[in-house]
Amino acid sequence: MKPCKLPDQCSSLAEVRLEIDRIDRSIIAALGERRHYVMAALKFKPSISQVAAPERVAAMIETRRTWADEERINPDVVEKVYRALVDYFTAEEQAHWSEPKR
């Protein structure tokens, strides 16, 4: 989604908030898209024991920390966000394995 106004073009707090809401909506849409891929990964994980992938999580977190630093965002904050996401998506995957199979 393209910005309606760049930050320095906003002439009121209402315009800034409108842009923040637009960005947040696109972040949430991206999280929904990410969830679809997480759930698609289940077909490559034949058992619940393969849901948690600590090596993958560690590498992913390190990459996200680097990306955060490149964007001048505190890497510790980004790590907390991604650890929360990983916990949530891992629980979603585990729930899939807990469902009765038909």
- For the chain, the domains span 1-44, 46-102
Burial 1-32 (b: 16+ CB within 10 A, else e): eeeeeeeeebeeeeeeeebeeeeeeeeeeeee
Label residue 1 by pLDDT band (50, 70, 90): low
Q: For residue range 22-64, what is the model confidence (pLDDT) as tens digits?
A: 999 999 999 999 999 998 988 888 878 778 889 999 999 999 9
Q: For residue range 61-91, what is the model confidence (pLDDT) as tens digits?
A: 999 999 999 999 999 999 999 999 999 999 9
> What per-residue confidence (pLDDT) applies to 3?
61
